[in-house]
Structure formats: structure tokens, C-alpha cells
Amino acid sequence: MTSRWDNNKQMITLPLPTEFSFLENTKYLSNAPNECLIRIDDGRVYKAISLEQVPIIVEVSVGCEQENGLAVRLLGNNQAALCESVRDAAVRYVRDWFDLDTDLQPFYQLAKTDKLLSGSVDSFYGLRNMGIPDLFEALCWGIIGQQINLAFAYTLKRRFVEAFGQYVEHDGERYWLFPTPVDIASLQVEDITKLKMSTKKSEYLIGVAQLMVEGKLSKEQLLGIGDHKKIEKLLVQIRGIGPWTANYVLMRCLRIPTAFPIDDVGLHNAIKYVTGAEAKPTKVEILQLAEGWKNWESYATFYLWRLLY
């Protein structure tokens, strides 16, 4: 299998890690109700992203020649698609998005005998923590999702994206790009409350966008800090980002393996579902249940969430 760019076919095939199921990942993506940033058609996943200021559509599918390869194509077919640095950035994005560089074997080993995880890892074997590589998108999605049901959260995200984002057209389909910090930083609160977002969330979104535009907050900076607790402490100081949102971003964007949104209602419901308990688990109970998850708290949460979809 080739890991080099094929200029004729405009694609690259990435070798896959062993514990990987493309089907499980697409099933996970398909379950998102009203998702506006991803299109799935005929087993292929499409997403528009901006690479080096250039909007482009990424198509991901299982390789046709080698079933254990992940085929990445760039659509939109402008000159940008031919530029080597853009191609490399697209490949990095997909590796990050599908979390191809994590060896899941230790997780599956510990999950086998875990009373909460054993069923889930069996059902969803090969599922990856599908990420949100863009920090601004991850922060906004966390803020939008606070304290409302998921269906409404997806509706709000769609309105937000379609009001302030750009789109690329290809074969008669629109592929929306998540708005950039620049798109949002100069908005007035009323511009966002019009979408039925709460006043506070509108303020939070603008505030985060301004921090990023001012260069006071970036993914590179957070990754450079490295330590879970230090990053969390920094994020929680930002207005609108509490422990839940911070850990959500640590998990979905920064890929800190110990990220653990312990206050999450979905996690509570998943635990109730597995244990059969009537009452919501207490924080102490959750920590006890999670004692065997050291360094895999993030993946454990992701797999438990999956039970609810």
C-alpha cells in the first residue's frame, strides 16, 4: 500500500492501526442528528475544512485496493488541492480527526474486565474518539451544548454555522466551514441571540473568538503546556468555560487521554444504563468506577457515550 500522494488519482491511502473499524466510526458520525459539518454518502465521509486559509473538501473512505487503508481525497479541485503543503495538512487533519496514531490495545485490555466498559468495547470495537481538530470549533461546540438537549444544540450549531460561516460547493452540494474566530470576534451579542442562543452563550462565543484573534489562546499554546491540569486551569479561567467544557475540549480537540468530563449528564446516563441504577451516580461513585481507567478516561467516556446513541 502506498502512503504517498498519487497525483493521478488525487488521493493518498493511509495505513491503518490494527484496532480500527471504519464502519464503527462512520456509524458514530451518522448518529449525530442534524449535523451540518459532515456529509456521509455511500460509505464516504466528507467535510470542508480550511487549510492555510484555503477552503477544501476532504473525502475519507476505506481504500478500494487495500481494505486496511484509509483513502483520503481532496475535492474542490482547485490549484490548492495540488499544493503539497495543503495535502500534507489535509493528511494531518485526517490523522488527528480519526485518531489514527493511538494504540488502543492497552485500553481494550483494561476494558475487557471493567464492568462498565466491557460491553461497550465489545459492541463498538474499532471505534475511535472522533475528534474536533479545530480548537475554535471545539470550544464553540462545547459552549453551545451546555445545559440543553443535543438535538437543540445541533440546531443552534447549524444556525450559527449558516449565519457566520462560509461554504464550498461541489457537485451541487454545499459543504459548510465552521466560522473562524475572525468571523465571530467583531459580532454584536444581538447578532447571535437572534439565532435563539442565550445572551450568555453569545457573549462567551464572542469572548473566546476575541481571545483567539488577539493571539491569547491557541491550540499550539495549549498543546505546548501539555499537562492536563495546567491546561484545564487555564481554560476554566476563560468566561463561559467551566470544568465540563474544559474537559470536553481536552478530550475532543487536544486529545489528552486523562480528560474526563465527570459532570456530564450523558456520562451519568450511560452509567445508569450499564449499572441499572435509578439514581444519578455521585462524583465519588464515578471516581470509584473509573479507578481502572488510568490514562484512558477520555476513551472510556467516549465509549460510554456511544451506548446512548
Partner DNA sequence: GTCCAGGATGGGT
Partner DNA sequence: ACCCATCATGGA
Write down the least CB distance from residue 238 to DNA, Å.
7
Among 97, 244, 260, 296, binds DNA (CB under 7 A): 244
Among 155, 168, 176, 179, binds DNA (CB under 7 A): 155
Beta bridge partners of 45: 40, 60
Which is nearer to DNA, 166 or 193 (by Cβ)?
A: 193
Which is nearer to DNA, 142 or 165 (by Cβ)?
A: 142
User: What phi and psi values does residue 44 have, to the nearest 5 degrees?
Assistant: -115, 145
CA distance 301 to 110: 14
Q: SS3 for 277?
A: coil
Under 8 Å between Cβ of 204 and 143: yes
Which is nearer to DNA, 79 or 279 (by Cβ)?
A: 279
Does residue 91 touch DNA according to CB under 7 A? no
Q: SS3 for 55?
A: strand
77: left (phi over 0), alpha (psi -120 to 50) or beta: left
DSSP secondary structure of 97-138: HTTTT---HHHHHHHHT-TTTHHHHHHTTT--------HHHH
Binding window for DNA (CB under 7 A); candidates: 4-12, 51-59, 114-122, 148-156: 148-156
Which is nearer to DNA, 150 or 223 (by Cβ)?
A: 150
Binding window for DNA (CB under 7 A); candidates: 87-95, 110-118, 176-184, 235-243: 235-243
What residues have CB less than 8 Å from 239, skipping those under 6 apart?
203, 204, 207
Among 71, 94, 116, 246, binds DNA (CB under 7 A): 246
What residues have CB less than 8 Å from 231, skipping those under 6 apart?
222, 225, 246, 250, 254, 256
Does residue 238 touch DNA according to CB under 7 A? yes
Catalytic residues: 264
Does residue 303 touch DNA according to CB under 7 A? no
Write down the least CB distance from residue 177 to DNA, Å.
20
Does residue 242 touch DNA according to CB under 7 A? yes
Among 29, 83, 150, 274, binds DNA (CB under 7 A): 150
Does residue 241 touch DNA according to CB under 7 A? yes
Under 8 Å between Cβ of 281 and 269: no
Does residue 115 touch DNA according to CB under 7 A? no
Own/partner long-range contacts of 178-184 (Cβ < 8 Å, ≥24 apart): 178/37, 178/134, 178/136, 178/137, 178/140, 179/136, 179/140, 180/50, 180/136, 181/136, 181/208, 181/209, 181/210, 181/212, 181/213, 182/209, 182/213, 183/209, 184/140, 184/209
Does residue 305 touch DNA according to CB under 7 A? yes
Which is nearer to DNA, 92 or 230 (by Cβ)?
A: 230
Does residue 229 touch DNA according to CB under 7 A? no
Site string for DNA, 170-209 (x = CB under 7 A): -----------------------x--x-xxx---------
Which is nearer to DNA, 112 or 194 (by Cβ)?
A: 194
Interface residues toward DNA, by CB under 7 A: 142, 145-153, 155, 193, 196, 198-200, 236, 238-246, 263-266, 269, 305, 308
